[in-house]
Structure 1
Amino acid sequence: MANRNMRNTTKVEALIESCRSEGKWQRVIELTDELKTGSPHNECLANFLVGEARLENYLEENALVAADSTFGRAKSGLGEARRYLNLALGESGQKAGIALDAYLLLAKLCFACGEYEQSLENFVKAELNTLAEKELTLRSLKILAESYAIKGLCLEQQTSSKPSSKFKKAEKDTEMISCFERASDLGLLYLQEYDIVSGNSSSNNSTAGSTLNVNASSVQPSSSSFAISSTIPASGPSGLEVNRRMGAILETALQRAPIVLIKTEKLQEAVERYRIMLNAIETRATQSLRLTLARQLAEVLLRGVSGTIYAPPFAGKSGGGTLRGGSSKKLWKPRKYAARQQFNPRNQQEEVILLLLIAEALAVRDTVLSQSPEFKQARQHAMGNVTAVYDLLTLATVRWGLVQLLNESFEKALKFSFGEQHVWRQYGLSLMAAEKHSQALRVLQESMKLTPSDPLPCLLASRLCYESLETVKQGLDYAHQALKREVKGLRPSRSQLFVGIGHQQLAIQSNLKSERDACHKLALEALERAVQQDGNDHLAEYYLSLQYALLGQLTEALAHIRFALALRMEHAPCLHLFALLLTASRRPREALGVVDDALHEFPDNLQLLHVKAHLQLHLEDAETALATVQHMLAVWRDVYEAQLAGEEEKHSDTKSGVHLAHSSQMSDKDSNSVYAASLAAVSRVEQALSEAASSLSSFTQRPGPRRPWMLQIEIWLLLADVYMRIDQPNEALNCIHEASQIYPLSHQIMFMRGQIHVYLEQWLDAKQCFLNAVAANPNHIEALRALGETHLILGEPRLAEKMLKDAAKLDPSCPKIWFALGKVMEILGDFHASADCFATSLQLEPSCPVLPFTSIPLVFE
């Protein structure tokens, strides 16, 4: 390299060297004339300097683009530069110590003209492969870094354009990788040295021309490392200077090094190369590049590296890596951050999250808050970087159950995301995943405003209302909005399905027969349209089958559920509904076979286990049912215990059905909130709460989400029911005690305690428990029926009639209610009404499933 002894140079030569380092090429040409005037022996050096200046000046003004028109323009534009550089070759150039530099610059010139073979020939003449590491000037560092980069690009072009044998291709790939690795190391070192020189130039102007010692120890980054943003070209002269300083070739080399390793199937080496570059001390020119590298490495670790082949960063290494064929002195290696007090990720999860948080910090720093039109392009570019990072962060955090971290990131993003619908929608989805339902709905409402023609945010809001907020009418409104936004015929209508689901849920919740019948009719029409518009949608077929089941049309329901299963055999809710339809068709053993087969596919699905336990009870196999319910408790611990302890939430494909179906005692439009329909109900609620006061003294709120604890209550109460079937009331009481420790005010617990009193024939105590349950939830049908039967036994037929008629209004399809009402009317002497009730019971009983069809929870997948 042209590493001249500066002690013997003239003042002009020192000034020229300084201008070369700073890229002032027009000034270099002017000073070259003075150099030739001062001494005719400098003719060869002057030719080299002019050729270099013309080449660099052209490349700064014209972007390097691989196109025939660009190559033709470059050949004519660089003709003078080529002539001057050729004059610097030969014996005179060797004596002046510039022949090597001239060959390297000629290779760069040929590359700009698309002459890749000639470029490689010039590198051979320069003996680039045999250069020994030594101390270099700033300008020489950049020339050498770009030379390795250009050689790598030429080899890559040669490999792709010319077919060769497997051995030769592997040999060229190895050489190409070596070139890109050296280019990235030298490029980072050059940028680090440039930062030092530019920082010291104000106090010592001679530094730029001095020889640099690049074997310094690790240096801590200065506070000025984050002073300049290179992401936004409009940020001012400093940003333009940073971009100019790096140059297109150097930037390409820094990004290309790991990519060629991935292309040649050397994934682990690519990961190490990313780590080496990210561990190098940051410079002003590499700040935006650092964002790209961090994001790319995170993506590689997420997509290409499994846990079995993952290796922690720099495990057993110094962190600098090795250079192929290089010296052990490592003069051409970039300086690294000191290892003292440095966090080192221990596993794949920690490294990916760390990389993405670093990338987020870098991307957020460069965002543009101004909404002025002149900043539109810069704002879009910055938002593109931010959203790319947030998309990867979403994949990583959801995969590893770190949704709260994602929420915090999106909350920070809102301050610069005015009008950015993608960020708002992702934020809404993250809130839904974190079960912050009310806040998620408000965010989705904002997303609707930002995309007035997109039905998706309306559908998400509708699902939220149906599934979590229990505001079905509001959800139905959103479904209608989505239907209006759909472009007819563009794609199958999911909005039509959501409209049908909304009407179906309103029918289930309605207490008035006329209103219920109207909603059932609208639901059936909407679901039939949904099936017509998309005959391959298993979900539409499933809900249409459920609608026919609710209407008592079992033949049609079975036909549609079979078609839904033909479309998607592994759909757990379809299998659940199919089993219930079989029980309603008096085929309980077939239903048990369906459930057993489904549990082979979904072994920890609590819904299916719940149905299995009830089928076993129905078939009078209580001992087996006991084992099933005990297994349900074990499954609950496996699914929820770690989550409730604050540990990482477990995920698996078989845990798709962790929302337990309500049993016959626990369904019937249940609500765990206290529902006071009248002043009388309020007084009864107060009485019920006073009954539970003794339990409250030892009650403490369980940690974590509410739903898992309510599921455990239901399992304990089902276990209590099984124990009563096998004549073990004490064990049943123990189960109720366990449930009371979780939530003593549950009306379901009050009802089950009343059932035990019925078993023990303690009728007054049973009556009080059922009154408490009805006070806490007037819509609990089983409690109303049990209270009516208890009134009848206690000789209170009029009160029994009132309770049973209230229950029949809520659920007119329950044969047990009509049978009990028939006995009441018979005692009251209304034999005609009694006969009608018994006839209704007989008519309903053959088509009554082992569990109500409404016990199947909502499903949207």
Structure 2
Amino acid sequence: MAGKAAKGTNRLENDIFKCRDESNWKKIQELAEQLMQRGTGPQSEAMASFFIGESKLEQFLEEHPPTEANINKAKTGLTEAKRYLNNCFTEHGAKEIVEMKSVKVGYTKYRWHRTRHLTVKRTRCGAFLVPLAGVMTDGHFLLAKLLYAQGFYEEAITHLDSGGIDRLEEKTLSNRILKILAESFAIKGLCLEKVPLKTTSKTKAANREDQIVSYFVQASDLALKYLQEVEKSQGTVGGVVPTGTAVGTVATVAASSSPLPPNTEYRIGTVLESVLQRAPLLMIKSGKLRQAIDQYRNVLRAEETSSTQSLRQTMSRQLAEVLLRGVCETNYIDYEPRIEIKKQGKHWRPNKYSGQSLFMPKTEYEEVLLLLFISEAMAVRNAVLDRSPEFQDARIHSYNNVVAVYDLLVFVLARLGQFQTLCESFERAMKFSFEEYHVWMQFSLSLLSSGKHLRATLMLKECARLQPHNSFPCLLAAKVCLENLGNIEQGVEFAEEALNREKRNPQSLLAQCHLVLGVGYALMAEQRRPQSKRAEFKASAFQCFLRAQSADPYFHLPEYHLALHYAEVRQLSKAVSHAKRALELNPEHVHTLHLLALLLSAQKQHGEALQLINATLDEYPNYLNLMYTKAHLEDYCLGPEEALLTSKQMLLQWKTFYESELKSDFAQTGLQRVTSCNRGSFHVRSGDFSDRESGQSIAAAARVEQALSEALQTGAGPLAQLQAQTGTAGGGPATGPREKRGSQTLWLLQLQVWLLIAELYLKMEQLSEAEACILEASNIYPLSHQLMVMKGLLHEMRKEYYDAKTCFQNAVSINPLHVTALQHLGLVYHYLGSSQLAEKTLRDAVAIDPMCHQSWFNMGKVLQETGDFDSATDCLNTAIQLEMTTPILPFSTVPRTLE
């Protein structure tokens, strides 16, 4: 009977040790109670008490983690567990175990078990030959954990010291003992944090901090080692269960169709999770940033387990934040694992990834982006998509994790100009961002920065729907429509909606709303005919600018647009006054400086205007619009030879832009940042191109030109015939358009420079040089309406009126609002004897821009030839009056900017 009882006891003990490694505490409690009933002596009862106390402690802490909020619950709920654990330290229990040390082993049949780093022999009768440190040490460590949960920190430290936590020898341990040790080191550090020092010595305080950090680091290593060993024993690698393996709950979770992210059976608990993250934070707090970064790297380099995936995501983001906030490129030290010192013994340290194929970042941004992409991949994979109420908390938690990563990605990638990569990241975020304004707005801004304005407008429209009281999305969409898309009507609609929202819910954007709406009305005025409709929109724009000025008297842009309005109606003194006020508010606003130079030239102070342009170019040497105006002022003041030198400088500057663009993956953004003008190429025109083209009409004409030019390059039949009809300026065939790399904006800039040089050569009557410049421009966009105008001017100087007429007609076909083409087309009609057609064409030019003196002058010449002397006199008198206030370049050269 005694043999059968011993055999049953052995089976129970084996099951208990197995369940301990699996953390199956309910089963352990049942088996321990059976062991106590079948106990063969006091030592068996002591062991059973230990197992029951351990199971009760762990079950309670699973439901009530050891936090300050649960201290009162722990004081009442852990009483029974504490009583069972204290039984291990009673005088009777300790005496029985100590007496077993003197028993001689005389049996041939025995088993070896590993309960700790110490060996336990079990005799045939079932008696334990356990050194006192065996169960006693485990009991001390578990009692310390219990006392920490109850808030008795000093008593917990006493038990940890009694268990010899600082004297343990590193050896191979079972999974359960690994976790007990990890928690013991963590609790020792946490208790030292809670217990105040009894001295004010700074040295002892620093030593205490170092001691706490060392305990946390040791606990972190043991925790990671424990999780790796658990997965290894269950046949999983990196949290993946091999095919055909049934691993209880792990396999069940892997095959679950739950909308929640996969969970793992083996959790290290809140104590170890907090310690893993607190160790580097304490190092940072004590000023040891380098050691903190190394600790982060060591944790992240440990072989991944399913239980550490969430931790890896969090610590990847935290390390990225530390590198961004505390490290600069000059003091960054890359990670070199090959120089690590290999200490003896690896039983308590986690396995780490190693090999020649690992990617090692060499710069700060490489490491930050690697960390953020790793964190993003994990966050997106674990995002909760189910919108059911029961998953709301989990969904919010996972969403906040992803948003934190994306905010950091925005910060880094925007600094590097990698907006396309940022857009791709937000594409992945869309699947779990339903009705989330923050992500939609970030995505919209990324699309804007990458040049995808149309899609950005759709995103902003959705943002406006998500927050019906927020005026910012509508305001930003209006700016995009006006500045980038040329969709003036929709831009005005967005601006009106933004203004209505701002009036209902003020957000300090009232001046901005009035300003954007005023710019929209001003652009609509340039597109409207007849004159009465145009005057109506101009008056509305003027009122909006006044309201913007009243809403924010210290905002420079309303002053700038008021100055531009007064300049266009030739009230120069008021325009100069508002321009100077705008410069007082913002002395570095380049468009106001440009406008002031044009106002000086309109007052016939060309020398002062040239001085102002030169002074502005000293501050903005790369701004091509200023150089363009400088060339025309030099042509007027110093002659075309001096202007040619400035034009050559413009070509050199263009070359610099082009080379920098080819080196960048996102060149257009960089170009806009350098030149400080989104629409500069569409506003650079020659002095005779005094047209009233709006951004919409010019952008549309440019798109038509590009499409026609590309079609011509492919050899399309009708287009090839058109090119053959127009020919080059000298009548020969044009060279085929070269294959262009780079943005359309950049090539349009070069086109304008070549046309400027051709215009200067025409003034110098060097027709062959002008023809060569026109040929260069033809290689860029052979069907540009501005290029056709320049060809027509060359034919007109050669008195080849039929060819000139064809060129001007082609230009008007592409852009019906091009005033210069209409002016010269009317003259050519007059030269060819079609006076009525000439008069009609010139009247169209006057209707488009009634402030252009050249149109009135040309119409006066035509009416004089037809014998209508009274009308001719009125036209010529109007031309004289307008010429007295005409600038060197039309005021429309200055953009209606919103920046």
TM-score, normalized by length of structure 2?
0.82
Amino acid corresponding to residue 593 of structure 2 in structure 1: L
- Whether 1:575 aligns to 2:593 is yes
User: 1:805-848: per-residue Cα shift (whole Å, max 9, x none)?
Assistant: 22111111122222333333333333332332233223222332
Amino acid corresponding to residue 133 of structure 1 in structure 2: E
When structure 1 is superposed on structure 2, of 499-508 and 752-761 the one drifting more is 752-761
- Whether 1:822 aligns to 2:856 is no
Contact 1:814-1:844 at 8 Å conserved across structures: yes
Give how far 1:503 is off: 0.4
Pick from 824, 837, 841: which aligns with 1:786? 824
Amino acid corresponding to residue 442 of structure 2 in structure 1: Q
Distance 1:353 1:816, change over 3 A: same
User: 1:506-536: per-residue Cα shift (whole Å, max 9, x none)?
Assistant: 0122242111100001111122222222233
Amino acid corresponding to residue 335 of structure 1 in structure 2: N
What is the rounded CA distance, in whole Å, between the counterparts of 1:597 and 1:15 in structure 2? Answer: 90
Amino acid corresponding to residue 175 of structure 1 in structure 2: Q
Q: How many residues are matched?
A: 816
Give how far 1:59 is off: 1.9
What is the rounded CA distance, in whole Å, between the counterparts of 1:821 and 1:339 in structure 2? Answer: 83
Contact 1:612-1:628 at 8 Å conserved across structures: yes
User: 1:328-381: per-residue Cα shift (whole Å, max 9, x none)?
Assistant: 333322222342543333434443333333323222222333333333333333
The aligned residue for residue 681 of structure 1 is none
Distance 1:339 1:722, change over 3 A: farther
What is the rounded CA distance, in whole Å, between the counterparts of 1:186 and 1:634 in structure 2? Answer: 64
The aligned residue for residue 310 of structure 1 is 332
Pick from 632, 646, 651: which aligns with 1:614? 632
User: 1:730-749: per-residue Cα shift (whole Å, max 9, x none)?
Assistant: 44333322222121110111
1:726-737 map, 5 Å? 728-737=766-775
Distance 1:709 1:220, change over 3 A: same
The aligned residue for residue 533 of structure 1 is 551
What is the rounded CA distance, in whole Å, between the counterparts of 1:233 and 1:169 in structure 2? Answer: 52
Distance 1:606 1:296, change over 3 A: farther
The aligned residue for residue 471 of structure 1 is 487
Amino acid corresponding to residue 435 of structure 1 in structure 2: G
- Whether 1:113 aligns to 2:133 is no
**Alignment RMSD:** 3.7
Pick from 702, 708, 730: which aligns with 1:672? 702
Give how far 1:251 is off: 1.3
The aligned residue for residue 691 of structure 1 is 725
User: 1:402-451: per-residue Cα shift (whole Å, max 9, x none)?
Assistant: 32223333333334433333333333333322323333333333333333
What is the rounded CA distance, in whole Å, between the counterparts of 1:28 and 1:237 in structure 2? Answer: 30
What is the rounded CA distance, in whole Å, between the counterparts of 1:549 and 1:626 in structure 2? Answer: 29
What is the rounded CA distance, in whole Å, between the counterparts of 1:376 and 1:557 in structure 2? Answer: 59
The aligned residue for residue 218 of structure 2 is 182
What is the rounded CA distance, in whole Å, between the counterparts of 1:384 and 1:47 in structure 2? Answer: 45
- Whether 1:457 aligns to 2:493 is no
When structure 1 is superposed on structure 2, of 296-305 and 282-291 the one drifting more is 296-305
Pick from 518, 521, 524: which aligns with 1:500? 518
- Whether 1:423 aligns to 2:459 is no
Pick from 169, 175, 180: which aligns with 1:138? 175
Amino acid corresponding to residue 12 of structure 1 in structure 2: L
The aligned residue for residue 752 of structure 1 is 790
The aligned residue for residue 95 of structure 1 is 132
1:151-550 map, 5 Å? 151-156=188-193, 167-199=203-235, 222=240, 239=263, 241-242=265-266, 245-312=267-334, 314-315=335-336, 317-318=337-338, 327-486=343-502, 487-493=504-510, 494-550=512-568
User: 1:577-601: per-residue Cα shift (whole Å, max 9, x none)?
Assistant: 3333333343444444443444344
Distance 1:221 1:417, change over 3 A: closer
Contact 1:750-1:770 at 8 Å conserved across structures: yes
Contact 2:423-2:446 at 8 Å conserved across structures: yes
Identity %: 42
- SS in structure 1 opposite 2:265? helix
Give how far 1:400 is off: 2.4
Unpaired runs of at least 5, structure 1: 1-6, 201-218, 676-683
User: 1:281-329: per-residue Cα shift (whole Å, max 9, x none)?
Assistant: 22111122222222333333444433333344x33x238x569xxx433
- SS in structure 1 opposite 2:702? coil
What is the rounded CA distance, in whole Å, between the counterparts of 1:692 and 1:124 in structure 2? Answer: 98
Contact 1:821-1:834 at 8 Å conserved across structures: yes
The aligned residue for residue 743 of structure 1 is 781
Amino acid corresponding to residue 347 of structure 1 in structure 2: T
User: 1:51-95: per-residue Cα shift (whole Å, max 9, x none)?
Assistant: 43333233222133335xx43443343344445545545994971
User: 1:659-686: per-residue Cα shift (whole Å, max 9, x none)?
Assistant: 42322438531332459xxxxxxxx999
- SS in structure 2 opposite 1:285? helix
Amino acid corresponding to residue 626 of structure 1 in structure 2: L
When structure 1 is superposed on structure 2, of 141-150 and 406-415 the one drifting more is 406-415
When structure 1 is superposed on structure 2, of 740-749 and 183-192 the one drifting more is 183-192
What is the rounded CA distance, in whole Å, between the counterparts of 2:168 and 2:616 in structure 1? Answer: 68
Distance 1:598 1:176, change over 3 A: farther
What is the rounded CA distance, in whole Å, between the counterparts of 1:764 and 1:236 in structure 2? Answer: 77
What is the rounded CA distance, in whole Å, between the counterparts of 2:329 and 2:18 in structure 1? Answer: 51
Pick from 54, 58, 63: which aligns with 1:56? 58
- SS in structure 1 opposite 2:584? helix
What is the rounded CA distance, in whole Å, between the counterparts of 2:133 and 2:297 in structure 1? Answer: 40
- SS in structure 2 opposite 1:445? helix
Distance 1:553 1:165, change over 3 A: farther
Contact 2:435-2:466 at 8 Å conserved across structures: yes
Give how far 1:192 is off: 1.2
When structure 1 is superposed on structure 2, of 341-350 and 285-294 the one drifting more is 341-350
Contact 2:323-2:364 at 8 Å conserved across structures: yes
Contact 1:688-1:772 at 8 Å conserved across structures: no
1:564-603 map, 5 Å? 564-603=582-621
Unpaired runs of at least 5, structure 2: 1-6, 98-130, 244-249, 706-717
Contact 2:515-2:548 at 8 Å conserved across structures: yes
TM-score, normalized by length of structure 1?
0.85
When structure 1 is superposed on structure 2, of 780-789 and 410-419 the one drifting more is 410-419
Distance 1:96 1:272, change over 3 A: closer
The aligned residue for residue 744 of structure 2 is 706
Distance 1:667 1:814, change over 3 A: closer
Give how far 1:220 is off: 7.7
Give how far 1:711 is off: 2.1
Distance 1:331 1:460, change over 3 A: same
- Whether 1:562 aligns to 2:580 is yes
What is the rounded CA distance, in whole Å, between the counterparts of 1:155 and 1:627 in structure 2? Answer: 77
When structure 1 is superposed on structure 2, of 454-463 and 654-663 the one drifting more is 654-663
When structure 1 is superposed on structure 2, of 615-624 and 647-656 the one drifting more is 647-656
When structure 1 is superposed on structure 2, of 460-469 and 728-737 the one drifting more is 728-737
What is the rounded CA distance, in whole Å, between the counterparts of 1:228 and 1:731 in structure 2? Answer: 82
The aligned residue for residue 17 of structure 1 is 17
What is the rounded CA distance, in whole Å, between the counterparts of 1:117 and 1:593 in structure 2? Answer: 80
- SS in structure 1 opposite 2:541? helix
Amino acid corresponding to residue 61 of structure 1 in structure 2: E
Pick from 751, 756, 763: which aligns with 1:718? 756
Amino acid corresponding to residue 181 of structure 2 in structure 1: L
Contact 1:720-1:736 at 8 Å conserved across structures: yes
The aligned residue for residue 209 of structure 1 is none
What is the rounded CA distance, in whole Å, between the counterparts of 1:150 and 1:139 in structure 2? Answer: 16
Distance 1:222 1:687, change over 3 A: closer
